[in-house]
Amino acid sequence: MIIFDTETTSLTAPEAAPIEQQPWIMEFAAIKVNARSLKEIARLQFLCKPPVPIPLESIKITGITNEMVANKPPFAAFFPRLQDFFVGERYIVAHNLSFDVTALRHEISRLGKVTAFPWPPRQICTVEKTLYMKGYRSSLGALHEELFGNPHEDAHRAMVDVEALHRCVIELRKRRII
């Protein structure tokens, strides 16, 4: 099972928009866990330089600046490691799965490798699985607070969010929600 998150240059544009107008990944993080025990097996994290300047709004949300990624390789340089990390996994989990999968799919499409990527067949979106709790789509911070009574700190950096989501996944499994 892979629990992951992306930080991107923007939100997704309408699907009909050209691929160049879709968000670019600037940070990726994932924790691979045993699907039964949910114990961590491995991690993958990287910053990459998008081919467009990071908009001020994204900098404000994530804290990732153009200077931070100036000397980082592009997403394409990380593709082989990403591909190896995903091989053989049955489950993929993200808090807003449709966004993160779409962002990842756009990056992989730009490389012409969508069919070469080992997408896990089972997808779990914690936003969708917990929608009933409040009757609306809650943020990861709100879900963390609902489950543990304290807010998730330092949101919007990929590995910090993945670690918080991992805690939530463990609790959601205990409660038999996922």
Inter-residue contact 69 to 49 (CB < 8 Å): yes
CATH code matching the domain that covers 2-125, chosen among 3.40.220.10, 3.90.180.10, 3.20.20.80, 3.30.420.10: 3.30.420.10
pLDDT category of residue 153 using cuts at 50, 70 and 90: confident
Say what the pLDDT of residue 15 is: 87
Tell me how far the alpha carbon of residue 81 is from its chain's centroid. 16
Q: Is the pLDDT assigned to residue 72 strictly greater than 90?
A: yes
Domain boundaries, the chain: 2-125
Say what the pLDDT of residue 91 is: 98
| Three-class DSSP category at 56 | helix
Alpha-carbon gap, residue 62 to 89, rounded angstroms = 28
Average of per-residue pLDDT across 174-178: 95
Say what the pLDDT of residue 154 is: 72
Average of per-residue pLDDT across 109-117: 94
Q: Percentage of the chain with pLDDT > 90?
A: 90
Of 90, 84, 1, 94, residue with least CA distance to 41:
1
Q: Is the pLDDT assigned to residue 101 strictly greater than 90?
A: yes
Say what the pLDDT of residue 87 is: 97
pLDDT category of residue 155 using cuts at 50, 70 and 90: confident
Of 130, 69, 79, 141, residue with least CA distance to 109:
79
Alpha-carbon gap, residue 68 to 48, rounded angstroms = 9
